[in-house]
Chain A
Amino acid sequence: MTEPVTMAKAINQSLHDALARDESVLIFGEDVGTLGGVFRITDGLQKAFGDDRVFDTPLAESAIIGIAIGLAVRGFKPVPEIQFDGFIYPAFDQIVSHVAKYRNRTGISMPITIRVPFGGHIGAVEHHSESPEAYFTHTAGLKVVAPATPADAYALLQSAINDPDPVVFFEPKSRYYLKETIDPTIEVPIGKARVAREGTGVTVIAYGPTVGVALDAAKAAEKENISLEVIDLRTLSPLDMHGILESVRKTHRAIVVHEAPVFGGLGAEIAARISDEGFDFLEAPVARVGGMDAPYPPARYEKLYLPDVDRILEEADVALAYG
């Protein structure tokens, strides 16, 4: 594609291409058919592929995932959509007890890609801005992906749908309308991070919605002669520790940034793994910037709750003060 496209369109295109390439791919969920999804991600797909391939379901998340399991056993590659991050919890049992464990129990693979718009910054009402990724990275048997750019969203969704294992695919709502030129021939494998910006002073590890904030922080830091390297994880499970450690080996300092609450979040795992596998590289403790240990606040307060440039730079200052 030569024209820049939004992430929303890139995902739509990726779904379209998957449906066209592989007739075992099915897309279903709440409002994904006629309406084309509340974010229009599935716009036009039912029209193009028929309502046996792209269909609306009753309003029941647990059954949406439950039937995906049965369809997978039947030989399909289901791509169910959970409408919002905060609505995934009714499906939690099906995801954790079965999607993640069915193969371990039976030897039958579960090529299911669960798409979930996630994260805040959109001024939404309660339950529409959550970051539940750590529940799923904590579950063996799942792969968890969170792209940050349109090109990655296209390519990683291809990788997820083609993967024989279940993938929870978190789409950063706040970046749905970011535009970029995408090349459908470029493959992005699951499990590989990318360096979003090179730097030497502090490694900032981000994913999904926080990649933009981290890059903004790096720009601001440059004016103060502070050099930040931004790592975009792209895949949250499995973690690309090789990529992370390569950067920390260079900068000796790391900050993990996510919107989810810091307590018990993915940042805790990353910090622990860096101190475990990269202890000798460190000149400062690994810092975490993220949501507070409080429920996601009402929209007018979300900017205070979410990681921002200043909070990243403050942690960078602390890390650099170690020498």
Chain B
Amino acid sequence: MALKPSKKPSKREKPVIGKLSFTDEDVKNSPFFQKQIEEAKRFMKEHPFPIELLRSK
């Protein structure tokens, strides 16, 4: 993911970072996750989040 890491230091305890039992490739090849992702993309396209809601208190 090409996201920008936060510059603000987090006060939260960090999780252990390391090699996981599964890889990106496993996720990419997983019908289970790919179906979730495709459905999520379709949902957000059909029901875009109204940005005005962010401005309302």
A binds B: no
Q: Residues of B at under 8 Å CB distance from A?
A: none
Q: Residues of A at under 8 Å CB distance from B?
A: none
